[in-house]
Structure 1
Amino acid sequence: MEELKERIKSEGVIASQQVLKLDAILNHQVDPALTMDMGRAFASRFASEQVTKVVTVESSGIAVAFAVALELGVPMVFARRKKTLLADPDSYVERVPSFTKGIVTDLMLPKRFIKKEDRILLIDDIIANGDAARGLVKIIHSGEATLVGAGIVVEKCFQSGAQSLRDQGIRVESLVRIQSLGEDGVVFAD
């Protein structure tokens, strides 16, 4: 996605050689047109997989996952990171570290939203070490659903997250792959 690459170059902020802030287009501020383009791109890539649900983690993955689900005509479900008073006690729970937050959180997804017959597409905004994505994979497997693949908006190739999913035999489709971050700016792998 060339437009996404251009937006990353112009609006992304390199916080370190490991961290790229994309809060102007993915996190705090969401560009609806770009988000819908991302949704169409993922829907096209996974069109033959008979997806029945799109799953993500709150909160940064929700906008893109919603766009994908809308394009595929299926529900979107997200795992919460914080327990609330209304949290369903009958939930799958996986404890995962967060690379960007620097803390460990529990991913919680009510069991009633993952069925054995589901064919699930996992969507993530940025994959670094892949802990949240691997946590979601465990939740999907706990529900005995079929994981058809993972759609990643931004894959940081210099970190192990996406490769760890591929090593499990999971199909990973990334819209943008970043080779490095540094003084020369963002260097794309593609």
Structure 2
Amino acid sequence: MDILKQKIIEHGDVLSNDVLRLDALINHQVDPKLVMEMGKEFARIFAGEQITKVITIESSGIPAAFATALQLEVPMVFARRKKTLIADPDAYCERVPSFTKGIVTDIMVSKEYLSPNDRLLFIDDIIANGDAARGLVKIIERSGAHLVGLGVVVEKTFQSGGKSLREQGVRLEPLVRISSLSNGEITFE
């Protein structure tokens, strides 16, 4: 997506050789037109897969997942990172480290929203080390649902997340691949 690359160049902040902040586009402030274009592109990439639901992780994956679900005309489910007073006590739960947050959290999805009949499309914002994504994949596997694939807005190919998920057999489709953030410069593949 050339428009996404251009927006990343204009608004992305390289904080280190490993960290790209996209707060102005998808992680804190959301560019609605851009996000809707992402949803259209993910729907095109995964067309014909008979997807029954789009799934993501709270919170940065929600805009792109919502736009994709809207295009596919299916519900969207998101894994919560915080337990609430009204949370389902019988939820699928997985403990995952967060690369960007530098903490370990639990992600959970109510068993009510996943079934063996589901064909899920997992949409996320950025894949770096892939820990959170692997955690949600484990939840999907335990539910018996079929994971059709994982669409990510940005794959940082110089980190191991995408490679390890592909080695697990997950179909991973990024909208943009970044091969380096060295010297404060964004290098696209």
The TM tier, using the shorter chain, reads: over 0.9
Q: 1:106 — aligned with what? A: 106
What are the ranges of 5 or more consecutive residues in structure 1 without an aligned counterpart? none
Give the TM-score normalised by the residue count of structure 2.
Answer: 0.99
1:79 equivalenced with 2:86 (yes/no): no
Matched, 1:120 2:120: yes
- Tell me, in whole angstroms, the C-alpha distance in 1 between the residues paired with 2:184 and 2:69: 36
- Say if 2:162 is the partner of 1:162: yes
Taking structure 1 as the reference length, what is the TM-score of the superposition? 0.98
Cα drift, residue 182 of structure 1 = 2.3
Cα distance per residue 1:132-153 (max 9 Å; x no partner): 1101100000000000000010
The residue aligned with 1:134 is: 134
- CA distance in 1: counterparts of 2:164 and 2:72, whole angstroms: 26
Distance of 1:87 and 1:79 partners within structure 2? 11
Partner-residue secondary structure (3-state), 1:83 = coil
- Indicate whether 1:15 and 2:15 are aligned: yes
Matched with 1:94 is 94
Tell me how far 1:84 sits from its aligned partner.
1.1
Q: State how far apart, in whole Å, the 2-side matches of 1:119 and 1:4 are.
A: 27
Name the amino acid aligned to 2:105: T
- Residue 184 of structure 1 and its aligned partner are, at CA, apart by 5.4
Q: 1:98 to 1:184 in 2, by over 3 A?
A: closer
Q: Does 1:171 align with 2:156?
A: no
How far has the Cα of 1:87 moved from its partner? 1.1
Q: Distance in 1 between matches of 2:82 and 2:148?
A: 27
Q: Number of aligned residue pairs: give it.
A: 189
CA distance in 2, matches of 1:6, 1:50: 32
Question: RMSD across aligned C-alpha pairs, in angstroms?
Answer: 0.7
Which one-letter code corresponds to 1:42 in the other structure?
Answer: F
Tell me the SS of whatever aligns to 1:97.
strand
SS at match of 1:174: strand
Deviation per residue, 1:103-146 (Å, 9 max, x gap): 00000100010010000000110000001110110000000000
Query: C-alpha displacement at 1:22, in angstroms?
Result: 0.1
Secondary structure in structure 1 of the residue aligned to 2:173: strand
User: After TM superposition, where is structure 1 displaced by more than 4 Å over at least 4 residues in a row?
Assistant: none
Structure 2 residues without counterparts, runs of 5 or longer: none
